[in-house]
Amino acid sequence: MDFQRICLWVALLLFFSNYGGVEAGDIVHGDDLAPKKPGCENDFVLVKVQTWVDGIEDVEFVGVGARFGTTIVSKEKKANQTRLTLSDPRDCCSPPKKKFPGDVIVVDRGNCKFTTKANFAEAAGASAVLIINNQKELYKMVCEPDETDLDIQIPAVMLPQNAGATLQKLFSNGSSVSVQLYSPRRPVVDIAEVFLWLMAVGTILCASYWSAWSAREAAIEQDKLLKDGTEELPSIKNTGGSSVVDINTTSAILFIVVASCFLILIYKLMSFWFIELLVVIFCIGGVEGLQTCLVAILSRWFKQAGESFIKVPILGAISYLTLAVAPFCITFAVVWAVYRDYPFAWIGQDILGIALIITVLQIVRIPNLKVGTVLLGCAFFYDIFWVFISKKLFKESVMIVVARGDRSGEDGIPMLLKIPRLFDPWGGYSIIGFGDILLPGLLVAFSLRYDWLANKSLRAGYFLWAMLAYGLGLLITYVALNLMDGHGQPALLYIVPFTLGTFLALGRKRGDLKLLWTRGEPERVCPHVRLESTQESL
């Protein structure tokens, strides 16, 4: 197994084992099903808590507003700067020992009801209450079914545990602390989601045409050999020196099993050093992908350099063009790894990621619709299990924890395409996992290869409809994400039924389903000769 094949195996495992959802946006937890009633019917909103220390603007926290109490203003200019005070007793489960006229008070979560704290704070004259959670995550504050004392006229906001620790440190220094509370509205559609959608669709489009072009070149080459009367046909290799690898049904199922084990490994070992290891692996795969793409493009202009090879120990035969491009690719990946925490580092991550995805889609292929159905079907249930069902086994969603990097102190694993939300006052990134592009991309690339080999027009073929189905499935994923209050969504839950369902239904309607399911390519001029894309399989 050569170096490129090793990179390919590692890349595929990471594709499967990373988070399948478009966005890991699940930042608040609690009882979403708690019924609304008079005095307890607010929508849950994120709240910005800007602090000032001795009159100087300081750190900003993000909390979540309660279902009870008054609503919080949405515009910063309408929010008042108010003095912040610690409650006494700290949990505010009994009446405070002194009054807080007009102050915002900080209380610990404690063991009493949230509404009890708010009522005591309001009775002491507080203008708002900040409740510090006993965990690093937030919690949606709801009302008990039997509660009646809900005429609360001050806002209540929950802050995470680390915010409470920071505020406590400020107070211990004897500083004067004031806060400003406001809840800016998030845009219905952020332009980042549009660009991310275009990026995903464009990646599959480019990879599909490259894969189909390679298959057509191989078919033309074989036709020439047949016309020349060649009796023994060599294995057809892909342009650029990379052999094509067909996935079979066994390897498709095995990949899901291995990927599940790998995901659990990442979940259990999630830490700062483990994220660093994943960054190194991602850089190796990114270098390989970027190098393959650049060599394929530049070889059109520097054909002789692309066809002249030199033998390198361990790596084998490498073209002079590859040697010329490799230093640039390595430097690019190293610079990204060093500066990946900077605001514009997402550009480098996306370039490396897209190049790797395109390379894998060009090298790895599904030979027929049967393998595609098994692969996507298994991935469909894999995604659902590790996003939703894993909560019951591990008390939290394994995929979401891995994607966010909750235990690592960083922003999660790098195997994601992401774009910053430019017009969102809350900032952050819109993200999509590599697997949500790669897996359906294998099916879409297969459809274009079939269309070209069968000489089908765009409308009469399958590629156009497969692309439209993928784009629509991804669009529905974004809609579901917004409707689900920002909770992370497994994209394959929506994409697989659209792409696979469209392909199966269209194939059956046109009478091609049996051929697509078994053979995966049209009949050749000589029936006894079948185009073999490779002698190898995963």
Q: pLDDT, tens digit, for every residue of 264-309? A: 888 887 777 877 888 888 898 899 899 999 998 888 887 777 677 7
Please state, in angstroms and rounded to a whole number, the distance separating the CA atoms of residues 445 and 197.
Answer: 18
Tens digits of pLDDT across the chain (538 residues): 344 554 555 555 455 444 444 443 444 444 555 667 788 888 888 899 999 999 899 999 999 999 999 999 988 888 899 999 999 889 999 999 899 899 999 999 888 999 999 999 999 999 999 999 988 777 888 888 777 778 899 999 999 988 988 998 888 888 899 999 999 987 777 888 899 999 999 999 999 999 999 888 877 777 776 666 544 444 434 444 446 788 889 988 888 888 888 888 888 877 778 778 888 888 988 998 999 999 988 888 877 776 777 777 766 677 778 888 999 999 999 999 999 988 899 999 999 999 999 998 988 899 999 999 999 999 899 888 888 888 888 877 787 777 666 555 555 678 889 999 888 888 788 888 888 899 999 999 999 999 998 889 988 999 999 999 999 999 998 888 777 655 667 888 899 999 999 999 999 999 999 999 998 887 665 544 444 444 444 4
Residue 215 token pair: 């298959």
494 and 21 Cβ atoms separated by less than 8 Å: no
Looking at residue 135, what DSSP letter applies?
S
Active-site amino acid positions? 383, 436
Question: How many whole angstroms separate alpha carbon 97 and alpha carbon 349?
Answer: 54
Q: For 22-89, give the DSSP string.
A: S-----EEE-TTPPPBTTB-PPP-EEEEEEEETTEEEEEEEEEE-SBSPPPPSSGGGPPEEEEEE-SS
Helix, strand, coil shares of the chain, percent, nearest 5, are 50, 15, 35
pTM for this entry: 0.81
Which pLDDT tens digit goes with each residue over 3-33? 455 455 555 545 544 444 444 344 444 455 5
Output the CA–CA distances (angstroms, integers) from residue 481 to 24, 25, 61, 213, 426, in the order listed: 10, 9, 24, 36, 16
* Cα 424 to Cα 245: distance, rounded to the nearest angstrom: 43
175 neighbors 53 (Cβ within 8 angstroms)? yes
Q: Is 346 helix (H, G, I), strand (E, B) or coil?
A: helix
